[in-house]
Structure 1
Amino acid sequence: MEELIELIYMEKRPVVTPERRVKDFLNSIQRAKNGEEISVRGFIILRRPPNAPRDGIYYLLSPAAPSEMKSYRGLRAYLVIEITESTVINAKIQPGEYVEAEGVIDAYPFGTLRLLHTTRISPADYSEYWKDYRTLALSKSELEGLISDTIYAGYELERAITYSLLTAPFVVGTNWLDGFTLSGFNGLEGSKNVMLSLWEALRYIHSLLPWEMQLRRDKWAEIEDDGLLGVDFRFTRPSRAGPLYYVPHNKTLLESKVPVPKWALKTFEKKEATFLTPRAWIRPEDEAALLAETPFVLTEPVSYERNRELEELVPNLIVTVMLAREKLGTLNPWELKDYGKKFESFLTKNRREYGELFDALTLSGKVFNANLRYRLGARLLGSMARLEGRLSKPLITDLIGIYQELTDLWVNELPEKEKLRLIREYERYVGSDRLAGRALGIFANLEATREDGTVSREEYINALVEYGIAKGKAEEIIDNLLREGYLYEPFPGKLRLIRW
């Protein structure tokens, strides 16, 4: 019964449209009386309005984003803003900039236009453009339903696409920003068609997002006729736009070592945007794997179909994303204690199950490097919490389930030549002492969940004893690892791993 009620509700779901924005904008400025002080937000259009006096600077303020105006043919509206020497300007005055203008409303000698004698122009956050319609946000089940009715893939991959749209919160102690990386690699039995199918599905999702939210090299767009005043103008992305999303613009990039163009590499490495990046070949050292919160290995094609409901509700989806980002913007270390314990257990389980191959995959520069994967997992946990509305222990269990599936895929789908190469690298690293290698793996488990990578000597001894190594032997192993350069002591009684 509840599902039926929700379906009926979705049928009647109001949509955030340019027409709704224009009507709301007109209502707000028409209610104001001449001489009244008001504050209004909108996008600056650097075009002089008709009948503008010659004694000042006059521009237009649009309630709808310029990119929406390109395809919208309905009701339009502007507010004329007057800028004088006394106007305090704290925002960039560039076409397409989203600002808040304060001043005194007045009549204007052209049609139904009104004039704002502007006293102050301040920068406005692009997210507020969407959060003004917070009551029209989608529910969790509505969002998941839209994705699953559009993209047909494994359950975990469908979920990961949803998480990627919500982006990741900032995790205290890391240098990354609030982007997200979802990568997909050809499995052992896969073909290029597998990656092409994922790329095409992701491109479709990406094409539905506003121009302002697409990470693009071309920073300017233009409108030849605004449909109301007959003006043409160029516009750029607002300074405070975000989040940004990127999908490779052509299939040749899927063959690249990193499926990201050179101009976007720094953005990719800093996680300043969300990257949805399929990759033609599977290698555990690829940056697309190393920096991905969800590095999937695919053996079956992904399919998608155009979804009219999704296309209509994309603005509501964006409202949902903006509100989720507002609700959970940052994760603190103290919130990750339960996750840290579960992650250590996950590492221990897979070291026992997959042995040296998993150890090799957790070395520095590999896809499951313990410290890096822990931090990426914390970000994924934050994305999952954004969907649920809060962080909880069941979410941690779900996260470990996703990472277990990813581990199984990587271990099982790596070509045999790759597996042998990785094991040889690992053996060169640990030498002939297998017990020392296992001890290094245990240390990696511990340091992965520490903010600064430091583990106390006592804690390490206790972990080795718990594994089944006698205390005296454990102390001997630690001394050998220090002497041979695998560990070092930054402070007495504190240990850190030396990366190679």
Structure 2
Amino acid sequence: MIHALLRSVERLSISPSKRARDFQQAIQAYKNYEPVELRGFLILRQPPNAPKDGVYYLLSPLAPKELPKASIRPYVVLKIMENTNVSAQLKSGEYVKVKGIIDTYPYGNMRLIHVTSIERRDYSEYWLQYEDLALTKREFMELFDNTIYANYEIRRAIIYSLFASPALVGVNKNWGEGVTFSALKNDSKIIHSLWNASRYVLRLLPDELLLKRRKEFLYVDEELDLDFTFSKIGDGWYYLPSSKLLLKKDLPIAEWAVPYFNDKRAVFLAPKLYKKASPEDPLAHLSETPFILNEPIGLERNRELEQLIPNVLITVFKERNKLLSLSPSDKAMKRFREKFENWIAKNAREYGEKFDALRLKGMIFETNTRYLLSVRLLGSIARFEGEINTSIIRNVLNMNQEIVDMWMNEISEKEMLKVLEIYEKYIEQDFRNKRAVMALRIFMDLEATSVDGSVTKEEFYNALRKYGFKPSYAQEIIDRLIADGYLYEPFLGKLRLIKPE
């Protein structure tokens, strides 16, 4: 119930004016010559009547775009001296931690800090100052469930995307924490509905969190008779195509943002209007949740969400910091790998060579890529739910299953035949023994879910036994795959697949 969410909107909400008042109270509580540690945004402008005995700048408790929204603006003067330890880029808009000795500024009623050190800090700390005002899981869900109307999996996938993904230890891919929620359809009404819903949500976020080409932002403080120019505000985190025209591209992303997409350095909400479903779709290939929409997304303006966006961000950053990485050696990860391999086997039995063909390199269900993307989805959900358990693992596999079923029904027979031809070339004609093909496929699945790309002989043997191979034949087929040049043994007891050129 929404009233349960609003334990008290006034108590929960964090306005720029509240931040400014809290900062001012904290500053006033210090006595002159006491050591002080503060966080804020650097402003490279001299305060009025600055002395000539050092470099003087300003520190604001508010992000640049929040300055005009506050009823008061309690700047602190920073005096940077020759012995000040500087480990930050000195540019306006940089979020920094300042240590020093507090004093009175000779002119006006501002306070001054004789800075001993100044260092760059992560922008998330700006929100974690009010960590106790984070929302509960139920409150968080209700805000978005009362804003975006879609089926359960899609609503949840959008929410999970906001939390990004922990890093996976040992993976060769140089990916960041970003994730991609994509939705595709050959229907402009459906795709535009998702774009409009996503745009509504992202427009509520601070400019510092949006990934976009930066323009200079000019702010004039008439009381101090100063103008502040911020050329780059924040690192940017969430991306939505800025124009409906981008939705028609293979990657519905501006050219300058493509490297961020490929390297998973931002959260992308990327709807795409396609002409036909392609098994090699570049957007679907790198999306954690590449849904095919069948009906428009509903949107209702939500004043509670608008007012509690700071609390939403506090919740996101708080949960992100709790789970920074996942390790393949964790019990939960081992359990997920086993369940994922079972899920692969289930779909291979159900869809046969069609599914196997769509798991080749470059295809939308390329096994290794889809496994890593599924792990990232698992991490996003774990950040939201607080832990990895059987329910979350099942949730990830259910989402994957819905996506697979959608794509299987959407890909045309003509496109599928092309993929099957490629698959036939990969599984050569002189290697058509069904049991041998099954064994090779089992190995490929094990390899795809292995972080370092290698599979132990014991692991392969046990998997063959699990799939019904007799002990003597399991060992024979391993030796045959090595002898025929499909597998090789780079280290004693470890096997790798020989990729065809």
Deviations 1:183-233 (A, max 9, x none): 1111xxx41222222122222222222111111122x43224235423222
Q: Does 1:395 align with 2:388?
A: no
| Counterpart secondary structure, 1:284 | coil
Q: Deviations over 1:421-480 (max 9, x none)?
A: 222221222134161433332222222222212123343244334323445554554455
- Checking the alignment, whether the CA contact within 8 Å between 2:38 and 2:97 is kept in structure 1 is yes
Structure 2 vs 1, CA of residues 10 and 346 (structure 1 numbering), >3 Å: closer, same or farther?
farther
Deviation per residue, 1:224-262 (Å, 9 max, x gap): 423542322211446xx5671111111222222222222
> Is 1:453 matched up with 2:446?
no
| Aligned twin of 2:440 | 440
Q: 1:318 aligns with which of 293, 310, 313?
A: 313
CA distance in 1, matches of 2:216, 2:18: 24
**Aligned counterpart, 1:108:** 105
For the structure 1 residues 275 and 18, does the alpha-carbon distance in structure 2 shift closer, same or farther, using more than 3 Å as the test?
Answer: same
Question: In structure 2, how many angstroms separate the alpha carbons of the residues matched to 1:451 and 1:172?
Answer: 8
Instruction: Render the CA deviation track for 1:259-312: whole Å, top value 9, x for unaligned.
Output: 222222222221111111122223232221121111111121212232221111
Q: In the alignment, what sits opposite 1:206?
A: 202
Matches of 1:362 and 1:434, distance apart in 2? 20
Q: Aligned partners of 1:42 and 1:346: how far apart in 2? A: 48
Percent identical residues = 47
Match of 2:48 in 1: 50
- 8 Å Cα contact 1:222-1:232 kept in structure 2: no
Structure 2 Cα separation of the partners of residues 454 and 144 of structure 1: 40
Query: Residues 157 and 242 of structure 1: is their aligned pair in 2 closer, same or farther, counting only changes over 3 Å?
Result: farther
Aligned residue for 1:39, secondary structure, equals strand
Q: Which residue is 1:262 aligned to?
A: 255
Whether contact under 8 Å (1:202, 1:247) holds in the other structure is: yes
The amino acid that maps onto 2:57 is Y
| Among candidates 156, 175, 194, match of residue 190 of structure 2 | 194
Summarize deviations over 1:138-195 as a string: whole Å, max 9, x none. Answer: 1111111111111111111111111110000011012322111111111xxx412222
Structure 2 residue aligned with 1:288, among 279, 283, 297?
283
109-118 vs 379-388, which deviates more? 109-118
Aligned to 2:13: 15
Is structure 2 residue 328 aligned with structure 1 residue 333? yes
Match of 1:428 among 425, 438, 450: 425
Which of residues 119, 138, 147 is equivalent to 1:150? 147
Aligned counterpart for 1:24 among listed residues 22, 27, 32: 22
Query: What CA distance in whole angstroms lies between the structure 2 residues aligned with 1:369 and 1:356?
Result: 14
Q: Is the 8 A contact 2:239 2:269 kept in 1?
A: yes
Task: Give the gaps of 5 or more residues in structure 2.
Answer: none
For the residues of structure 1 that align with 2:193 and 2:498, how far apart are their CA atoms? 41
TM-align CA RMSD: 2.1
Question: Which residue in the other structure is 1:495 paired with?
Answer: 495
User: 1:483: how far off?
Assistant: 5.0
Q: What is the 5 A alignment of 1:59-458? A: 59-70=57-68, 72-174=69-171, 175-186=174-185, 190-218=186-214, 220-226=215-221, 228-237=223-232, 241=234, 244-281=237-274, 282-335=277-330, 336-432=333-429, 433=432, 435=434, 436-458=436-458
Distance of 2:149 and 2:462 partners within structure 1: 47
Deviation at 1:49, TM superposition (A): 1.3
Structure 1 residues 51 and 162: CA distance shift in structure 2, 3 A: same
Contact in 2 for aligned 1:73/1:227 (Cα 8 Å)? no
CA contact 1:97–1:236 (8 Å) conserved in 2: no
- From the superposition, tell whether residues 447 and 298 of structure 1 become closer, same or farther in structure 2 (CA, over 3 Å): same
Matches of 2:386 and 2:199 in 1, distance apart?
A: 27
Q: 1:12-55: CA deviations, max 9, x gaps?
A: 55212111110111011111122222121111111111122233
Structure 1 distance, partners of 2:387, 2:469, is 40
| Aligned counterparts of 2:93 and 2:10: Cα–Cα separation in 1 | 32
Which TM-score applies when normalising by structure 1?
Answer: 0.92
Amino acid at match of 1:454: S
Q: Distance in 2 between matches of 1:4 and 1:262?
A: 41
Between 356-365 and 103-112, the greater mean CA deviation after superposition: 103-112
Instruction: Note closer, same or farther for the CA distance 1:135–1:474 as it changes in structure 2 (3 Å cut).
Output: same
The number of residue pairs the alignment matches comes to 491
Structure 1 pair 198/333, CA: closer, same or farther in 2 (3 Å)?
same
Structure 1: 5+ residue stretches without partners: none
> Relative to 1, partners in 2 of residues 1:162 and 1:147: Cα closer, same or farther, differing over 3 Å?
same
Paired residues of 1:184 and 1:195 also in contact (CA < 8 A): yes
Q: Distance in 1 between matches of 2:162 and 2:318?
A: 12
Contact 2:322 2:383 in 1 (8 A): yes
- Name the SS for the 1:85 alignment partner: strand
For 1:430 and 1:228, locate their aligned partners in 2 and report how far apart those are by CA, in whole Å. Answer: 75
Query: Residue 291 of structure 2: SS of its match in structure 1?
Result: strand
Secondary structure (helix, strand or coil) at the match of 1:339 reads helix
Q: Which amino acid aligns with 2:248?
A: E
Bigger Cα displacement from structure 2, 157-166 vs 48-57: 48-57
Contact 1:364 1:499 in 2 (8 A): no
**Which residue identity does 2:199 align to in structure 1?**
R
